[in-house]
Amino acid sequence: MADIDELLGALAAKATPASLGAIDDGVMRGLAERRESATARRGMIMAVGIAAVVGIAGSVTPSAPAQAEPLFGVPSGAPSHLLAD
């Protein structure tokens, strides 16, 4: 079995491949993309949270009592309806 010190010494004596010089750009680009993705995810979670809080608060404490109006019929305040009654 080979000695680990001999293997590491042989590896250190070899010249580094030229392709390792271009690896920095790819790594930094990947890190930037992950950072942007995390920022976008955080923003989306914050928007959903705010929407949920506003929705719950709006449904629990209504500001005015609900009034039903006919959707396609004649509104109760229309002049033709007032004259007919």
Looking up tokens 């007032």, which residue turns up?
A: 82
| Distance in angstroms (rounded) separating the CA atoms of residues 69 and 76 | 8
Domain ranges of the chain: 28-56
| Distance in angstroms (rounded) separating the CA atoms of residues 24 and 28 | 6
| Distance in angstroms (rounded) separating the CA atoms of residues 37 and 45 | 12
| Distance in angstroms (rounded) separating the CA atoms of residues 36 and 44 | 12
- Dump pLDDT digits (tens) for 3-62: 898 999 988 998 888 888 788 888 999 999 999 999 999 999 999 999 999 999 888 876
Q: Specify whether the CB–CB gap between 76 and 69 falls below 8 A.
A: yes
Q: Would you say the pTM of this structure is higher than 0.85?
A: no
Looking up tokens 């039903």, which residue turns up?
A: 68
